[in-house]
Amino acid sequence: MFDKFKNDGGEMVEERSENNNTKESSSVIESSSEIGIGELMGKRAKLEEAIDYVGLMIKNLKDKRTILEKDIEEESVDIKNLKEKLQKVSEYIDEESRGIKELASKRQQVENEADEVGSIINTLRERLSGVDKIIDNEGNRVRKIKESRDSIDN
């Protein structure tokens, strides 16, 4: 007659197969309804469902938070890598700036030396010009002397 017994909240409740007498099962339901156990059991079932739903929501929130934490950590790593790259770029720029300053200084030295060489060349040119004038003057004197000798001899 009874397929099994079910323990619900400290009470043994009998479950009957569908083949049991409907008169007996309806009397059990009627007596349960009269004292409100059926409604109470329904509310308890709904509360359990609500608790399960809240538990699922909490699990989903934890999963979302875990995903967010993972995403934030990945972004943090990416940002740290970018920051390191930018620091290397900054160091490279600083190094290049120092190199450019050194090159500018060397160029200035070479330019100063070139100016000195140009000055020396101008000085030597003036001196050579002076020597050339002396030679021309002496050449002219020698010619005049020759010409005056030739005119005396003729």
The amino acid occupying position 28 is V
Q: Lowest-confidence range among 48-57, 64-73, 116-125, 141-150?
A: 141-150
Give the CA diameter of the chain: 180
Contact 3, 19 (CB under 8 A): no
pLDDT score at 29: 53
Assign 21 to helix, strand or coil.
coil
**Contacts for 25 with CB less than 8 Å, ≥ 6 apart:** 16
Contact 16, 25 (CB under 8 A): yes
φ/ψ region of 17 (left if φ > 0, alpha if ψ in -120 to 50, else beta) reads beta
The secondary structure of residue 154, as a DSSP letter, is -
Q: Residue 34, exposed/middle/buried by CB under 10 A (0-12, 13-18, 19+)?
A: exposed
| Annotated domain spans of the chain | 1-35
What's the CA gap between 128 and 150, in Å, rounded?
32
Residue 12: what are its φ and ψ, rounded to 5°? -90, 120
The secondary structure of residue 149, as a DSSP letter, is H
Per-residue pLDDT reduced to its tens digit, 31-84:
555 677 888 898 999 999 999 999 999 999 999 999 999 999 999 999 999 999
Residue 26's pLDDT band (cuts 50, 70, 90): low
